[in-house]
Structure 1
């Protein structure tokens, strides 16, 4: 298999220092690099000249002078795809930004396309109406043109089953790169809040992550401390949130932390993890918290309930979050932590995730036809699909991401 060439497209790059797709790429390279000839496309905008190494853990790194996120991600992904056509046997594309070019790849080449859907991106509030329209079309073309598509959550699989009559393959994220770390005296000196109980949250500062709701709740709970890590200065929304809530004595807002140990210290020593994401599929920050054995209070959308198997604590508004923080006993939180840890040990390890990706790559290279729903299901309308409970659907609002 070493002579089989695989291109990983759609990440900021390696070494990972941004988000879930980058962490995924890093662990795929780590676990599969000895078996496959892997190339990873990287954004030169995210790495200094000194950081732009040619290889990493056996993978070849290729740099493009574009940002991997925002509007430039379309150019970044498309150029990566075109370049990969000249050498790769299979293209593992993370996200749908370059989806519009994939029908042409299928029409004019025999390259195999494996697409990982990054949640239902076109529903995110951060995009303009034109942006959402493009992402909706790009998603359609990506799913229709791929030889196989990957959903990181059963809810996304149900979504593609109904919308595209295709059978997505569920592969989630690993979390066993996280470590429980006891705080040292030096840690407590750097972060004095480690000396007392606190709730913790880490995420990108975007409306979809319900930052405002979480901060409002803790502004009403002066006896409970919240530590929230995020990129506050990267957007007007982040700066507005920081200005509005940054002066509350029980709310500690920290800038992004990329050092794994430092982040693990803060997560490991909190008494509860708050997960406010309302978009996407299986959020890496959630499975990492679960693997650390933290009790989880999550926003009650289907993606989060699927990830936690319906066994976490859930909120959908400020009052519900306040009630959970005030009313849950230490015993209940400890029990929740044990349940979250058991789920993570069973489902969210990188060896398991890498093995699933390897299986999918082999399947894509070997076969030319994409798996679809059986003819019986493909002719069903949405109502009938829901009646049959294909996957785990229970209601027609399962795909609506609450705002």
Structure 2
């Protein structure tokens, strides 16, 4: 009999929205190829009835939700969890943002593994109500989940203040090995290989956009900085501040979701700048390692474990500016950093490693009857 697993907590597959969706797609296809029956709950913005479909051997249950934003996500998770109560097999919930709903599964005796993601309630962008909701759900997820996955050793340490350590398995996020890219895709952005550096992230204060842009813009660099992100300067004061601080060597092309273009920007950049201050194993940083990028990152224990000792780190705007001053044109340092990124990537972050570890964990927890 096929082993059945149900994946909750994401918008659906194929991936269109972010790191968890990409992971779910990779894991689903891996498990299907190894003989599992995989079902993924998918959020739909239209329709009146739940429907089912199959995508590349992955069963999908489409649940329509008319509400948008955070409320729509909460309603979707509620409906998906209720639907899952009638299913048999193993359950994997990605994220703890609505973990209180998983209490229904625990009461019924379903085995549910929860990937606890990052420490969401510490993020600067959330108000007190949202932070309280995330804090409560983090606690709930720790208690309700039969087993927990942490994507970073420091996330495991954090969760171990809530539950015993043997209830937590550390498995990081994975990434693709990008050994080539199409340089012609750079032309629309007016940059050439190695003549630019890049930032790829959500433009939020906790991701150090302002510090990095101001550091770069302190003086002429004879170099371009491409800043990817969905900027709305007319309605967002922080976005406006970042763009106003930029020199004419900074390019804001907006958010880019075309994977080959993003791969080309990573592969051909001189430096990949990563300003995240909170979170666990960040998918974008892992993808930069897989593309062999020379990494300049905010100095914290999350980034240091992922990028390793051969990346360079900054604490603030002044330190970031000094890095630009000293290493921007240091070819030997750049080549050393690029090689180290690939070594670190192959040590811990290839999809083959990550998916193998997940399947081993799922087999350990698969219901015996």
Same fold (TM over 0.5): yes
Provide the C-alpha distance between the structure 1 equivalents of 2:194 and 2:47, rounded to a whole number of angstroms: 39
Equivalent position SS for 2:60: strand
Q: Cα offset for 1:65?
A: 3.1
Provide the C-alpha distance between the structure 1 equivalents of 2:81 and 2:94, rounded to a whole number of angstroms: 11
Structure 1 spans left out of the alignment, 5+ residues? 369-403
Of structures 1 and 2, the one with the larger relative CO (CA 8 A, separation 6+) is 1
Equivalent position SS for 2:313: strand
Residues 292/128 of structure 1: CA separation in 2 closer, same or farther (3 Å cut): same
Provide the C-alpha distance between the structure 1 equivalents of 2:125 and 2:71, rounded to a whole number of angstroms: 12
- Counterpart of 1:104 in structure 2 is 104
- Counterpart of 1:231 in structure 2 is 230
Equivalent position SS for 2:360: helix
- Counterpart of 1:382 in structure 2 is none
Measured against aligned partners, the alpha-carbon deviations of 1:365-393 in whole angstroms (never above 9, x if no partner) come to 2589xxxxxxxxxxxxxxxxxxxxxxxxx
- Counterpart of 1:323 in structure 2 is 322
Provide the C-alpha distance between the structure 2 equivalents of 1:33 and 1:276, rounded to a whole number of angstroms: 36
- Counterpart of 1:353 in structure 2 is 354
Residues 280/161 of structure 1: CA separation in 2 closer, same or farther (3 Å cut): same
Residues 233/88 of structure 1: CA separation in 2 closer, same or farther (3 Å cut): farther
Measured against aligned partners, the alpha-carbon deviations of 1:38-83 in whole angstroms (never above 9, x if no partner) come to 11122213x999xx98222211122233479634332222221121
Q: Does 1:314 align with 2:313?
A: yes
Structure 2 spans left out of the alignment, 5+ residues? none
Q: Does 1:215 align with 2:213?
A: yes
- Counterpart of 1:173 in structure 2 is 173
Alignment of 1:324-403 (within 5 A): 324-328=323-327, 329-366=330-367
Residues 183/367 of structure 1: CA separation in 2 closer, same or farther (3 Å cut): same
Contact 1:15 1:26 in 2 (8 A): yes
Residues 37/367 of structure 1: CA separation in 2 closer, same or farther (3 Å cut): closer
- Compute the RMSD of aligned alpha carbons: 2.5
Matched residues, number: 360
Provide the C-alpha distance between the structure 2 equivalents of 1:88 and 1:216, rounded to a whole number of angstroms: 54
Provide the C-alpha distance between the structure 2 equivalents of 1:69 and 1:89, rounded to a whole number of angstroms: 30
Residues 178/14 of structure 1: CA separation in 2 closer, same or farther (3 Å cut): farther
Higher share in strand: 2
Alignment of 1:124-163 (within 5 A): 124-163=123-162
Q: Cα offset for 1:358?
A: 0.9
- Counterpart of 1:26 in structure 2 is 25
Contact 1:296 1:336 in 2 (8 A): yes
Q: Cα offset for 1:285?
A: 0.5
- Counterpart of 1:192 in structure 2 is 190
Equivalent position SS for 2:183: coil
Equivalent position SS for 1:193: coil
